Structure 1
Amino acid sequence: MSASPGALFSDPFHEEFGTWMWGYTPSGGGDHGEVAAVAAAVGDGDDGAFFDAWVSAGDRLRSEADAAAARGRQSASDLYLRASAFYASAYHPLFGDPVDPRLLEGFRRQISAFDAGLALRGVQPASVALGDARIPVYLIPAVGHEDEVRPLLILVNGYDATVTDSYFASAVAALQRGYHCLLFDGPGQGAVLFEQGVPMRPDWEVVVSAVIDHALTSPLVDPDRIVVSGWSLGGYLAPRAASGDSRIAACIADPGQWDLGAGLAGFARQLGATEDEAANLLTLDDSVLDRLMGVIESNRKLRWSIIQRGFWVNGVSDLRSFLAKSAEYRIDDVDAIRCPVLLTQAEGDPIAAAVPAFAAALHDATVLELTAAEGAGGHCSMRNRSLLNRRVLDWLDDTLAR
């Protein structure tokens, strides 16, 4: 497949991952010229060249950060965090089990730079025990309100983002608005998956409740104004948490999701399944599953999404198990979500298709529509993340004021 007109990366697969950085530009991530320079370095190269180019750019920023820190310059923290975003961009094409050593190398450089940047702002990582897992947690005080009791925004990642992504995608804007932010990677995410091998789980109320318990040990957190916000798969995980923990005062789901299994039928039809087959995915014959796997294997993006990422994140090794695990991601007791909920619905994002039905089932729901005409269409509105953050935080200001 050739690159589309105007693309920076010659490989469309790399283009999708490489230009994700533009969502972080307003909050201090890489600028267009930096991404273009990485693309030029990759050229017609493979996933290894993609990894090397991003790591090289991250190393350059890390070196600049070290030099700035040695001189006591305020820019050092920004440079470390920026380097972290470049390292985080390097390894997505390498997802899968067994874990590629390069993925671990890039991730460890990412977290080292991230920790260094936050340490210069007085933030140290903590951890929360959850079964056999240790969940890394960062509680970052609001800018200008470092010693005040303020509302807390807990940010929930999805299938493949990490704490660095949630920092640039959401936290920077919220910190500037006066919200303390808590970042973490749970089961199936970041260090918990990469380093500890702990897969994703659907009962995210258990995960977030443990995180809230930790947050409430801080004197900075207002216990009556705890908000959970999730993006991508986090658009399911955050409402699921709100269904099981009454301490959550408001919930943001970007985009809103309440039953991942319900979307599997449409996905199966896209793979060539008949209507009858799509309606009975969990009881399909092996021959049908083999046929669907053949379609997945022949498409690079599908292979990455389902086999490299989906199997690995969920701790499964075959399509039948993946479908069964995905069907577990549903909110059975929607009525238990009593807090106000904001559901985003970006134009052109198929994951947002169930937002109207989800909103109708909730006690107090607001739907935030984001359009392509505003440059905010597509998954998580990554080409105009600042617009999304502005509207989300306006809603949150008004909601908590109530």
Structure 2
Amino acid sequence: MKIKSSAYMGSFLAALLNSSVVSAAYSTANSSILLLSNDSTMNFDLLTPLGESITGGGDIGPILGAAKDIEAGNMTSFSEVFYKLANDTKAQAEDPENAYDPLNVRETWFSAASYFRKADGYLHGNWSNPLINSIWAEHLAAFDKGIAALPIPGKRIQIPAATKDNFTIEAIWYSASESNHDKLPTLIIGNGFDAAQEDSYHNFVAPALARGWNCITYEGPGQPTVRRNQNLGFIPDWEKVVTPVVDYVLSEKKQVVDENRLVLIGNSFGGYLAARAAAFEPRLSAAVLIDGVWDNYAAYIRELSPEQIEIYEAGNYTQFDDLLLTAREAGKLPTGAAWGIDQGLWSFYTHSPADFFTQVKKYNVEGFIDKIKIPVFVGDAELESSYVGQPKQVADALGQLATLHTFKGVAGFHCQTGAGQELSRTIHAWLNKTLG
């Protein structure tokens, strides 16, 4: 179906260019920190490896050097700069003189892996781009060398879902003790819309191991490695992913896991996924939602103008798809909107924006939140704009089971990016108080 007129297309682009979330999701206006890019989305994406550097997932100087070299708003530039940095760091990791010390090996390979992940982030608009798989293979190989050099090496495992669901969960197990008899508290950690389980090592696992917690990270359908290897997009009934992980932990690791301190963490869009799993998995002791997510459809349509929403909700799906995809292909969208379309279609395994929004309507906690019967930490962020007000909705619905915490100031970005120490301190203080 063709666009009705160039004037109509112009008004569409104007509306999209000025939509609230596109301009404000990671707004640089009145920023409380020094900006790394004049492009608000890229500024946020540079904070990610910078934040991970506190646990060995990068080095500050090279990341600042990358920030200087990236052309703001140019997604190809972002990928190319981080790809070069990743390969330069890989060459350092392969230097025989670097191998004298496991810490040297670990931090260099972890940094290389982090940079490969960033090089991949803006590639998903073209599913046939071979770099989507080749960069990811480099990233996995680098990360595996990093976890092999941990004091207690991490171990990759594949966990089959129920036979009728026909997918395999990718996971990594991390032990906090070499003893086979110490029953320790354990975190089950899941990401959300785009981040990898390897990011979870830096954001959650390393701080937890230092505090004596075992950890298992995982990925299900729609998430980076499962999406690539199994061609599966997200599913809303996320207990089908988490329950097999709990089965594994309480069977294969039962000698080293305290079943009374088994905690599920969900990060970003994972705040919905973890809430869904917590409602249907009774063996969990507590849940941590960073962020609290009530309704993903309500969050995502914030990127659309009222006119665009009207077209979609009237059922004019072909027109809606043509408008959105034409705008994307014209290269006129802000980085956040372009990336959001690319990542949304790729991770939900659809080429139709209308189908993406229709699928997203299923990711709403209202129908099951009353089934959650465990303590829940609900994170909010002062500078959040996608899930505005939703953490409080989640906490209010949970009542006395919920602890709502709003991160403020420089820790107020989405998922506390760049403030990992404050995030870890806050979560573990709550866990200590709640579970002992």
The Cα offsets for residues 252-275 of structure 1, whole Å up to 9 and x where unpaired, read as 11110132234355444xx23388
1:239–1:258 Cα contact (<8 Å) kept: no
Read off the aligned partner of 1:250 and give its amino acid letter: A
In 1, Cα distance between the equivalents of 2:376 and 2:433?
12
For 1:90, what is the secondary structure of its paired residue? helix
Alignment of 1:2-151 (within 5 A): 7-9=35-37, 13-42=41-70, 46-66=74-94, 67=96, 70-121=99-150, 122-130=153-161, 131-142=165-176, 148-151=182-185
The SS at the match of 2:289 is strand
Q: In structure 2, how many angstroms separate the alpha carbons of the residues matched to 1:114 and 1:230?
A: 22
1:324 aligns to 2:352 (yes or no):
no
Shift of 1:335: 1.2
Q: Distance in 1 between matches of 2:389 and 2:239?
A: 24
Cα deviation 1:92-118 (Å, max 9, x = unaligned): 111235242112222111111111111
Distance 1:11 1:359 in 2: 33
Task: Specify the code of the residue in structure 2 equivalent to 1:51.
Answer: S
> Which residue does the alignment assign to 1:247?
283
Measure how far apart 1:189 and its partner are: 0.8
> Conserved in 1, the CA contact under 8 Å of 2:191 and 2:200?
yes
Q: Shift of the alpha carbon at 1:397?
A: 1.2
Q: Secondary structure at the match of 1:307?
A: helix
Q: Which moved more, 1:123-132 or 1:326-335?
A: 123-132
Q: Is the Cα contact below 8 Å between 1:85 and 1:110 reproduced in 2?
A: yes
Task: Give the conservation status (yes or no) of the 8 Å contact 1:150–1:180.
Answer: yes
User: Matches of 1:220 and 1:295 in 2, distance apart?
Assistant: 53
- Once the two structures are TM-superposed, the CA of residue 31 in structure 1 deviates from its matched residue by 3.2
Structure 1 position 346 matched with structure 2 position 346: no
Q: Cα offset for 1:289?
A: 6.2
Q: Percent identity?
A: 27
Maintained 8 Å contact 2:221/2:227: yes
Alpha-carbon distance in 2 for matches of 1:253, 1:4: 25
Matching residue of 2:13: none
SS of corresponding position for 2:64: helix
Q: Report matched runs for 1:167-316 at 5 Å.
A: 167-216=201-250, 217-218=252-253, 219-264=255-300, 266-268=302-304, 271-273=305-307, 277=310, 281=313, 283-284=315-316, 286-287=318-319, 298-316=332-350
Offset of residue 61 of structure 1: 2.8
Match in the other structure for 2:187:
153
Q: Does the 8 A contact of 1:296 with 1:306 survive in 2?
A: no
Assess if the C-alpha contact under 8 Å between 1:145 and 1:178 holds in 2. no
- For 1:64, the aligned partner's letter is Q
Q: Which amino acid aligns with 1:35?
A: I
**Superposed displacement of residue 385, structure 1:** 1.9
* 1:181 counterpart SS class: strand
Give the conservation status (yes or no) of the 8 Å contact 1:24–1:30.
Answer: yes
* Structure 1 residues 176-229: Cα deviation after superposition (integer angstroms, max 9, x where no partner): 111111111211112111232111111111100011111221122222221110
| 2:187–2:214 CA contact under 8 A, matched in 1 | yes
Q: Check the 8 A contact 1:95/1:304 in 2, yes or no.
A: no
In the aligned structure 2, how far is the partner of 1:352 from the partner of 1:144?
Answer: 43
Q: What's the CA shift for 1:41?
A: 4.1
* Deviation for aligned residue 1:161: 0.3
Q: Aligned partners of 2:223, 2:349: CA distance in 1, in Å?
A: 12
* CA distance in 1 between partners of 2:146 and 2:233 (Å): 28
The correspondence for 1:385, drawn from 420, 426, 431, is 420
Decide whether the 8 Å contact of 1:282 with 1:324 is kept in 2. Answer: no
Aligned amino acid, residue 268 of structure 2 = S
> Per-residue displacement from partner, 1:3-29 (whole Å, max 9, x unpaired)?
979644465554332332122122222
Greater Cα offset, 9-18 or 287-296: 287-296
User: Closer, same or farther in 2 for the Cα pair 1:288/1:115, shift >3 Å?
Assistant: closer
Unaligned runs of 5+ residues in structure 1 are none
Deviation at 1:140, TM superposition (A): 0.4
| Distance change in 2, residues 1:21/1:222 (3 Å) | same
Per-residue deviation, 1:46: 4.6
Q: Is the 8 A contact 2:320 2:353 kept in 1?
A: no
Moved more, 242-251 or 142-151: 142-151
Asked if the contact 2:191–2:219 (Cα under 8 Å) also holds between the matched residues in 1, the reply is yes
The 2-side partners of 1:188 and 1:53 are apart by 26
8 Å Cα contact 2:187-2:265 kept in structure 1: yes
Cα distance, 1:174 vs. partner?
A: 1.2
Deviation per CA, 1:117-170: give whole Å up to 9, x if none: 112232221111234332221110126878622111011111110022111111
Q: Contact 2:159/2:169 (CA < 8 Å) preserved in 1? A: yes
Unpaired runs of at least 5, structure 2: 1-16, 18-26
C-alpha change, 1:31 and 1:264, in structure 2 (3 Å) is closer
CA distance in 2, matches of 1:259, 1:345: 15
Instruction: Give the Å deviation of 1:359.
Output: 0.8
Question: How far apart are residue 306 of structure 1 and its match?
Answer: 3.6
TM-score by length of 2: 0.82
Q: 1:347 to 1:151 in 2, by over 3 A?
A: same
Distance 1:321 1:394, change over 3 A: same
Name which of 365, 372, 391 aligns with 2:402. Answer: 365
Q: Secondary structure at the match of 2:50?
A: helix
Provide the rounded CA distance (Å) in 1 between the counterparts of 2:38 and 2:48: 15
